[in-house]
Amino acid sequence: MRLLIMGGTEFVGRAVADDALARGWEVAVFHRGQHQAPVGALDLRGDRTDSHGLAALADGEWHIVLDTWTGAPTAVRDAAGLLADRAGHYVYVSSRSVYRYPAAGALTENAPVVDSSPDAEDVPYGEAKRGGELAAIAAFGDRTLLARAGLILGPRENVGRLPWWLNRIAEGSRVLAPGPRELPLQYIDARDLAAWMLDAATRGLAGAYNVVSPSGHTTMGELLDACVRVTGSDAELRWTDPAPILAAGIEGWTELPIWIAPGEGHDTMHRGDVTKATDAGLRCRPIGETVADTWAWLQEIGGTAPQRPDRSPVGLDPRREAKFLAGLTD
């Protein structure tokens, strides 16, 4: 199999490249040169936001193109249009952010999506991803697979959610643990996402799929307990009901990564229906494995995870956490 990855040097793209190379596939990665290409992959350079940035793709044929682009849909439009006659299948890493908010719990792939266009330039994330979907479909038609991922975790994470929890818990002392412990989570390990996308594309699957674990594959309690276990920390998890956390103005998802208080937002992010993907072979490794492998990777790189320039750092300021914990009564 010949695979072209639009990206391929960071997080999800790198997980795809590693998986494909392990299968013995011929892999080409098209990127801007800000990170090293995986060993064994053909290194193609270009900036797809530049008017002549796709020159390195003027020649070549591929069985599968996999695109991780998160910016303006026009970049997907131009790349997909250029490759439509020289590639068999186009896999676009999309997002469940394409659904209109608020979305009902257990939302399926048939839920209403936001309005967008392949020609959109500067639009919010959800509209950008929906525009990218439309651009891919316009070029490849029924040869397009849309992987609508949700929360993505695992080694090489460059958003910082799981790395923040691991580093915070590794510091020890009392840690604000947002409850309830049994709060169900829905996420996907980047490596499981990569494996599913390659398998699905090989089988010729097309259309939209919600590609995250079943809701409750793990819980907030299991996640943080795993962080304590793999770091060997003496941290004391101070489990706290959502009400006082929200009353203090502490934000879920950004200040307390991954966690969203029970309610509309949580249902949208962590209670989606993934029956279509699981029926199509999606398998998700245990949270303990994802946490342990992410911690091992953090140790290899010195403890500080890379940060995507288009995302704000996450995590609760230590002074705010200490002040909030000091005000709690047992």
* 208-239: burial string, b at 16+ Cβ within 10 Å, e else: bbbbbbbbebbbbbbbbbbbbebbebebebbe
Q: In the 8-state DSSP scheme, what is residue 103?
A: P
Tell me what pLDDT residue 242 has: 98
* Tens of pLDDT, residues 223-270: 999 999 999 999 999 999 999 999 999 999 999 999 999 999 999 999
pLDDT (tens digit per residue) in 152-192: 999 999 999 999 999 999 999 999 999 999 999 999 999 99
Domains 2-149 and 157-185+218-270+288-326 share a fold: no
**Residue 88 predicted with pLDDT over 90:** yes
Q: Hey, what are 113's tokens? A: 């999506």
pLDDT confidence band for 103 (50 / 70 / 90): confident
User: 309 pLDDT band (50/70/90 cuts)?
Assistant: confident
Give residue-wise pLDDT tens across range 39-58: 999 999 999 999 899 999 99
Among 2.60.40, 2.40.160, 3.90.198, 3.90.25, what is the CATH number of 157-185+218-270+288-326?
Answer: 3.90.25
pLDDT given at position 102: 81
Averaged pLDDT, 87-109: 92
17 vs 106, residue with greater confidence: 17
| Alpha-helical runs (H) found in the chain | 11-22, 73-83, 125-140, 161-170, 190-202, 220-231, 242-247, 264-270, 275-279, 287-300, 318-326
Residue 330: what pLDDT? 62
Tell me the pTM.
0.97
Write down the domain spans for the chain.
Answer: 2-149, 157-185+218-270+288-326
Radius of gyration of the chain (CA): 20
- Give the mean pLDDT of 60-83: 97
Tell me which fold the domain 2-149 belongs to.
Answer: Rossmann fold (3.40.50)
Average pLDDT over all residues of the chain: 96
The tokens for 75 are: 């970049």
pLDDT in tens, 295-304: 999 999 999 9
